[in-house]
Amino acid sequence: MIKKAAILIFVVFAMVSTSFAEPNLKEGKWEVTTTMEMPGMPMQLPPFTYTQCITKSDLVPENTQQQQQNENCDAVDVKTSGNTVTWSTKCKGEDGDTKGTGTITYSGDTFSGNMKVNQGGMEMTTKMNGKYIGKCDK
């Protein structure tokens, strides 16, 4: 009886621990919409929308706005806890280095999150929302 209970506890623990290892994410092509907020800006920038393939091995959405500004960015220290992914980002650009942190929470075929970036003492917050739109192009 004790042996059966021990096996059952082990199986339940294994199932619970693997269920938290990966977020609830539908792999494929996602439409990502970002809005940027900067203190002191006289007007809000319009939302920016792009598509990206997101997989369980590549959970962090690209920040294509920074890529368009000729910044070389890398997501580092990526951590997953349940459906939430957190990361730090480091960018090297023409106007100096940029550092930031991000968090995103997946809910199957949608996600929401934000990223805070500091460049030269100016802090910007980018809010992100995404939705699954289909399979990735190969």
Contact in structure between 117 and 99 (CB atoms under 8 Å): yes
Q: Where are the domains of the chain?
A: 23-134
Q: What is the pLDDT along the chain (138 residues), one digit of tens a residue?
A: 454 333 334 333 333 333 446 899 999 999 999 998 888 888 888 999 999 999 988 888 876 444 445 457 777 889 999 999 999 988 877 777 788 899 999 999 999 999 998 877 788 899 999 999 999 987
Q: Which amino acid is at 133?
A: I
Which pTM does this prediction carry?
0.73
Q: Which two tokens stand for residue 137?
A: 């192009």
**Among candidate residues 58, 31, 27, the one with its CA nearest the CA of residue 47:** 31
For 23-134, CATH number? 2.40.128
